[in-house]
């Protein structure tokens, strides 16, 4: 596994990929970052396209990522993550709406769990899923980061 740590407007990120594609994006603490797992190799070259697209996303010039993705998950999680990628830039939907789009309107809790296990936040835009009442709920990077991502997209959507 190759990895690269980058700074971003939402804090430090660790990107991880292999020959199949991007595997993980992890939010790191601002200080005292944990070491990469044993056996991972730092490679700016391998992750340069990911870093470049993230930079373009954060500056508002990229609205859809075009990277080889290889997240590991169950078939249901994979369906949910694919559904997340269909939510347009700058828009939000509820967990119930996403469940309905996936053909099972009663599966909103299962959709929420799969959303929470998304290993590719930002690129697979789980931040675009909100509560039924419009509130911001749950985000692996914390609600302040979810709020920043949604605000960035609203600002650049125009």
Task: Single out the residue of 38, 121, 23 nearest to residue 73, CA to CA.
Answer: 23
Domain residue limits at 45: 2-58
Shared-domain flag, residues 130 and 96: yes
Q: In the structure encoding, which two tokens stand for residue 57, read together?
A: 């996303």
Q: What is the pLDDT of residue 135?
A: 82
What number is the average pLDDT over the span 43-47? 95
Give me the number of domains the chain comprises: 2
Q: In the structure encoding, which two tokens stand for residue 24, read together?
A: 């993980």
User: For the segment 61-108, what is each residue's pLDDT rounded down to a tens digit?
Assistant: 999 999 999 999 999 999 999 999 999 999 999 999 999 999 999 999
Q: What is the pLDDT of residue 17?
A: 98
Shared-domain flag, residues 102 and 151: yes
Q: What is the pLDDT of residue 158?
A: 66
Q: From CA 61, how far away is CA 1, in angstroms rounded?
A: 29
CATH of the domain at 125: 1.10.10.10
Q: Are 35 and 22 in contact (CB under 8 A)?
A: no
What number is the average pLDDT over the span 36-42? 95
Shared-domain flag, residues 18 and 43: yes
What number is the average pLDDT over the span 39-45? 96
Residue 110 lies in a domain: yes
Shared-domain flag, residues 81 and 152: yes
User: pLDDT higher for 138 or 145?
Assistant: 145
Shared-domain flag, residues 145 and 88: yes
Shared-domain flag, residues 80 and 150: yes
Q: What is the pLDDT of residue 137?
A: 82
Q: Which residues are tagged catalytic?
A: 126
Q: Is the pTM of this model over 0.85?
A: yes
What number is the average pLDDT over the span 13-31? 94
Q: What is the pLDDT of residue 136?
A: 84
Banded pLDDT at 139 (limits 50, 70, 90): confident
Q: Are 1 and 18 in contact (CB under 8 A)?
A: yes
User: pLDDT higher for 136 or 7?
Assistant: 7
């Amino acid at each position: 596994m190759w990895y690269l740590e980058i700074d971003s407007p939402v804090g430090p990120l660790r990107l991880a990929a292999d020959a199949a594609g991007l595997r993980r994006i992890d939010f790191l603490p601002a200080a005292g970052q944990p070491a990469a797992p044993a056996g991972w190799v730092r490679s700016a070259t391998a992750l340069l396209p990911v870093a470049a697209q993230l930079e373009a996303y954060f500056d508002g010039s990229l609205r859809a990522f075009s990277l080889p993705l290889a997240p590991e998950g169950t078939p249901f999680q994979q369906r949910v993550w694919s559904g997340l990628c269909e939510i347009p830039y700058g828009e939000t939907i509820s967990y119930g709406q996403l469940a309905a789009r996936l053909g099972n309107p009663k599966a909103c809790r299962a959709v929420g769990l799969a959303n929470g296990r998304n290993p590719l936040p930002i690129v697979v835009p789980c931040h675009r899923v909100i509560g039924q009442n419009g509130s911001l709920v749950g985000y692996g990077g914390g609600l302040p980061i979810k709020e920043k991502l949604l605000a960035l997209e609203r600002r650049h959507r125009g």
